[in-house]
Amino acid sequence: MTPANPEIKRHDPSDIRMHWFNAACWLVLLVTGLGLIKNERLNPLGAWLPDLLRGLFGGGSAGGAVLLVIHEVAGVLWLVGILVYLGVNGRGGAFFLREIFSVRPGDLVWMVRKMGRMTLGVGGELPPQGYYNMGQKAFAQTSVLGGIVIGLSGMVLLASDKLLPAALTVLVGWAVTLHYLAVGLVFAGLLVHIYMAAISPEEKPGFRSMFTGTVPQDYARHHHGLWLESLPKGDSGSESAAK
């Protein structure tokens, strides 16, 4: 007999591994990156983090050099990890990109009403959403486009030490600026993402799915109705896996 509220497959194990690998890389890159900004007027956290991290890795400029190597190695590993994921599950990657960049008219209504509900406690019924809701799409678009800028500018900065001639100083200046701006933008979205995904009580099944890979059918119907409708019905009448 089919259970009343069966579990529906939402994430492939490779998607889950990719997500947590990405989150771990972000954590290391953010902490070491902030630790590298020695100018306390530019560092949003002031001087304590650079001083603490440099102290941990031998102190002074030697500590700073170790910090830079950790940041560079983590950055390269992050990019390699993304390429490996695309090699292992290119279909999953293509599905993700297609979903986050397809915005329907109802999505904008969803976004305005959701923000009204969360901030002022007003707003009509939310239009049904697909695999991702518009808030998730907006963050995912920011993190993909921001990630591309961060990755490309990071590679320019990595090359700038050894390979790039002095004539390309302007390029390095732009790379630094774009690197900071893109990290700031994605980080702002990340604060909302972590609140919505891990703290907001109504999204708890979504959070659990980032470990188990499945969500209850009722949750899928309520939060991602168009996705549930699009799934092929299995023999038992319940929906089967999406990706």
CA distance linking residue 237 with residue 192, whole number of Å:
36
| Residue closer to ligand HEM, measured from CB, 167 or 191 | 191
| Site track for ligand HEM across 6-45, x = CB under 6 A | -------------x--xx--x-------------------
Per rule CB under 6 A, is residue 194 in the interface with ligand HEM?
yes
Looking up tokens 């170790």 gives: 66
132 near ligand HEM (CB under 6 A): yes
Which secondary-structure segment (H or E) carries 36?
helix 13-36
Nearer to ligand HEM among residue 32 and residue 64 (C-beta): 32
> Comparing C-alpha atoms, which of 86, 115, 65 is closest to residue 18?
86
Closest distance to ligand HEM from the beta carbon of 136 (Å): 4
Closest CA to 89 of 19, 147, 137, 138: 19
> What's at 32, amino acid-wise?
T
Per-residue binder mask for ligand HEM (CB under 6 A), 86-125, x = binder: ----------------------------------------
* Separation of alpha carbons 44 and 38, rounded Å: 11
Q: Does 78 bind ligand HEM (CB under 6 A)?
A: no
Number of residues that bind ligand HEM (CB under 6 A): 19
Is residue 196 within 8 A of residue 203, CB to CB? The reply is: yes
Instruction: Give the residue with the Cβ less far from ligand HEM, 84 or 171.
Output: 84
Smallest CA-to-CA distance from 184 within 19, 24, 44 is with 44
Phi–psi pair at 215, nearest 5 degrees = -130, 155
> Judged by CB under 6 A, which of 31, 210, 231, 241 binds ligand HEM?
210
Which CB sits closer to ligand HEM, 110 or 132? 132
Identify which of residues 57 and 85 has a Cβ nearer to ligand HEM in the complex: 85
Closest alpha carbon to 55 in 66, 43, 46: 66
Residue 136 near ligand HEM by CB under 6 A: yes
Least Å distance between CB 33 and ligand HEM? 13
Backbone phi and psi for residue 8, each to the nearest 5 degrees, phi listed first: -110, 135
List interacting residues with ligand HEM (CB under 6 A). Answer: 19, 22-23, 26, 132, 136, 139-140, 143, 186, 190, 193-194, 197-198, 206-207, 209-210
